Amino acid sequence: MELGIGLLGTRFMGKAHSHAYKSITTFMGLEVKPRLVAIYGRDPENTRYVASAYGYEKYYLDWRKLIKDPDVEVVDNSLPNFLHKDPCVEALESGKSVICEKPLARSLDEALEMLRAARKSGMVHGIIFNKRWFPAVQLAKKFIDEGLLGKILHFRFAYHQDWGAD
């Protein structure tokens, strides 16, 4: 069984998501496999290139057309933060499930609007928290749950890694 993926975004996170969709079937036994139906980008040359490089069936230069594509069942939004709410809400209202890159929204009001759209549509709406199960994050959660840090007034988290270095 396949699930039609429509990806919004062709830059860093779009390529990361595309790579994940392409590689997940090589190391996980999945009953449902991603089918790379369509990708959206604003730059025609780059969008064509990314679509071809990752094996998308088609590409769009208008995200609304991707959302209306009947072969797209899940819209994966890896666009910049300010472009999370509108495409996600429109996708949900169009009967598509949604995966959204973090942060979900720029404000609580935007996030609540997205939640209302998801509940009204009955579709699945998920956000990517890929570091949730990392040992350091789990240890921090344990400390918080056990009250070892006292009353938390402010929290800022930085996960230092070298994957962006050349």
Check whether 157 has a pLDDT greater than 70.
yes
Instruction: Count how many domains the chain has.
Output: 1
Reported confidence tier of residue 159, pLDDT bands at 50, 70, 90:
low
**Bridge-partner residues for 5, per DSSP?**
36, 74
CATH number of the domain enclosing 36 = 3.40.50.720
Q: Is residue 136 part of a domain?
A: no
Domain of residue 75 covers 2-127
Q: Is residue 80 part of a domain?
A: yes
- For residue 162, the model assigns a pLDDT of 67
Give dist(CA 114, CA 5) in Å, integer: 20
What are 150's two structure tokens? Answer: 């006292």
Give dist(CA 9, CA 77) in Å, integer: 7
Q: Is residue 133 part of a domain?
A: no
Contact 100, 128 (CB under 8 A): yes
- For residue 33, the model assigns a pLDDT of 93
Q: Is residue 70 part of a domain?
A: yes
Contact 43, 66 (CB under 8 A): no
- For residue 165, the model assigns a pLDDT of 56
Check whether 166 has a pLDDT greater than 60.
no
Q: Which residue has the higher pLDDT, 132 or 69?
A: 69
Q: Is residue 112 part of a domain?
A: yes
Q: Is residue 146 part of a domain?
A: no
Check whether 163 has a pLDDT greater than 70.
no
Q: Is residue 81 part of a domain?
A: yes
- For residue 164, the model assigns a pLDDT of 61
- For residue 136, the model assigns a pLDDT of 84
Tens digits of residue pLDDT in 5-62: 999 999 999 999 999 999 988 877 888 899 999 999 999 999 999 999 999 999 999 9
Tens digits of residue pLDDT in 89-122: 999 999 999 999 998 999 999 999 999 999 999 9
Q: Is residue 79 part of a domain?
A: yes
Amino acid at 14: G
Q: Which residue has the higher pLDDT, 164 or 152?
A: 152
What DSSP element (H or E) covers 127? strand 125-127
Check whether 128 has a pLDDT greater than 90.
no
Give dist(CA 144, CA 131) in Å, integer: 17
